[in-house]
Amino acid sequence: MINKPLKVEEVADLLGVSTDVVYSMVKQGEIPYFKVGKRLIRFQASSIQKWMNEQEQCHNAS
């Protein structure tokens, strides 16, 4: 089953940051995303959850 892709605003809400921060993370290649067409940015919920878990593990290990 395919989950509905998340919008920038939804990821920002999930992370508790502004959309500007999410766009910056995309630009820097820090967060998994994909494009629909040339400009539309979307995120797979499962990829964001995995990324969040990895970030948590990295910060808990230090």
Position 1 pLDDT exceeds 60 = no
Mean of all residue pLDDT scores within the chain: 92
Q: How confident is the model at residue 37 (pLDDT cuts 50, 70, 90)?
A: very high
3-state DSSP of the chain: CCCCCECHHHHHHHHCCCHHHHHHHHHHCCCCCEEECCCEEEECHHHHHHHHHHHHHHHHHC
Q: Output the pLDDT for position 42.
A: 97
Q: Where exactly are the structural domains of the chain?
A: 8-61
Q: Which CATH number fits domain 8-61: 1.20.120, 1.10.260, 1.10.1660, 3.30.70?
A: 1.10.1660
